Amino acid sequence: MANNLSAPHFHNEEKAFAYVEERLWPNGPVCPHCGGVERISKMQGQSTRMGLYKCYQCRKPFTVRMGTLFESSKVKLNVWLMAMYLIAGSKKGISSNQLARTLGLTVKTAWFLSHRIREAMREGGFDLFGHGGGAVEVDETYIGRKAGKAVPKGGWGHKMKVLGLVDRNSGKSRFFHVDGGKEIQGIVLEDLSREARLMTDEHVMYRRVGREFAEHSAVHHYEKEYVRGDVTTNTIEGAFSIFKRGMRGVYQHCAEKHLHRYLAEFEFRYSHREKVGCNDAERADKMLKGIVGKRLTYQACV
């Protein structure tokens, strides 16, 4: 994407169609009904819907929005692109209220838009972290408040628990909304290569799981030890602090059922941040690729 909001595809719907078609159909239009790529014509004429094609193999009409998260939304494609660009570029996220004001939408529409975009940001990579013996930092944090839970005198029982992993070599992160230790151990075993050098704090739940890996080193936070050689969890804690600042400042009222989408948003931005060589425009284009093939109905969203 162009590097600022003055680019024409943010302001002109026809340009927006061309922009999306170029990226989703690099080799020309593909019929979403039958998968055909031949005998497809662009429909012309004043009363024709924008971006409409007809497939003469299955005789059905389609646009580039069909079969993607853009489908069945009345919001203009250029507005979608602008929303994606804004979300991709704001380090701490952008609230639905702010998005509504900036784009001239109702808050409800802005909310649906941003939830769909978050869905597009869910990457769910299956490559193992720490492949080839790299360091992987693992840590947990607590956020918000579970519905109906009173604030206890001590402990974190009323909060939502988030597990984070950072692969130090690739700079990528993964965030999970988790219940407890067993689930954490399961994720660590599933997402890390056995060659990995696992780095955690001294929490007892990492001990047994740590034996499965080439190395497990823990920093002793209780003794105020944060770095020992290259053993540290400072990277994942830095990622958490961006997430928490965003959640506190922008998304104050995050229901537990939506937490995974916010986590996906922060994970995506973190994994494609400037430091790993990804600018706002490239990040937004990556997001666009995530739009393909993901459908999210309004019902599934509420």
Site residues for Zn ion per CB under 5 A: 31, 33-34, 36, 55, 57-58
Between residues 32 and 130, which has the closer beta carbon with respect to Zn ion?
Answer: 32
Quick one: CA torsion of 179, 290, 118, 283, rounded to 10 degrees?
A: 110
CB of 77 to Zn ion, least distance (A): 22
Query: Cα separations (Å) of 171 from 68, 234, 260, 270, 277?
Result: 29, 13, 20, 8, 10
**Sign of dihedral through CA atoms 240, 246, 251, 252?**
positive
Shortest gap between Cβ of 51 and Zn ion (angstroms)?
Answer: 16
- Output the smallest distance, CB 29 to Zn ion, in A: 10
Residue number with CB closer to Zn ion (62 or 206): 62
Is the alpha carbon torsion for 18, 19, 25, 30 positive or negative?
negative
Q: Shortest distance, CB of residue 27 to Zn ion, whole angstroms?
A: 16
How far apart, in whole angstroms, are the C-alpha atoms of residue 98 and residue 209?
43
Give min distance, CB of 70 to Zn ion, in A: 19
Cβ-based nearer residue to Zn ion, 29 or 246: 29
Q: Which is nearer to Zn ion, 66 or 278 (CB)?
A: 66
Determine the Cα–Cα distance for residues 159 and 87; give it in Å rounded to an integer: 26
Q: In what order do the strands lie in the sheet with 53-55?
A: 40-42, 53-55, 60-62
Question: Distance between CA atoms of 100 and 192, rounded to whole angstroms?
Answer: 40
Q: Transcribe 196-256 into DSSP letters.
A: -EEEEES-THHHHHHTTSSEEEEE-GGGT--EETTEE-HHHHHHHHHHHHHHHHT-----G
Facing residues of 161 across strands? Answer: 142, 178
Quote the crossing angle between the two packed helices 77-89 and 96-103, to the nearest 10°.
130
Shortest distance, CB of residue 293 to Zn ion, whole angstroms? Answer: 17
Query: Which is closer to Zn ion, CB of 34 or CB of 214?
Result: 34
Per-residue tokens: 260: 């995974």
Round to whole Å and give the CA distance between 91 and 273.
9
Q: Smaller CB distance to Zn ion: residue 57 or 98?
A: 57
Pick 60 or 91: Cβ nearer Zn ion: 60
Query: Least separation, in Å, of the C-beta of 145 and Zn ion?
Result: 50
Residue 114 CA neighbour count, 13 Å, CB half: 26
Task: Considering the complex, state which of residue 55 and residue 259 has its C-beta at the smaller distance from Zn ion.
Answer: 55
State the nearest-atom distance from the C-beta of 55 to Zn ion, in Å.
3
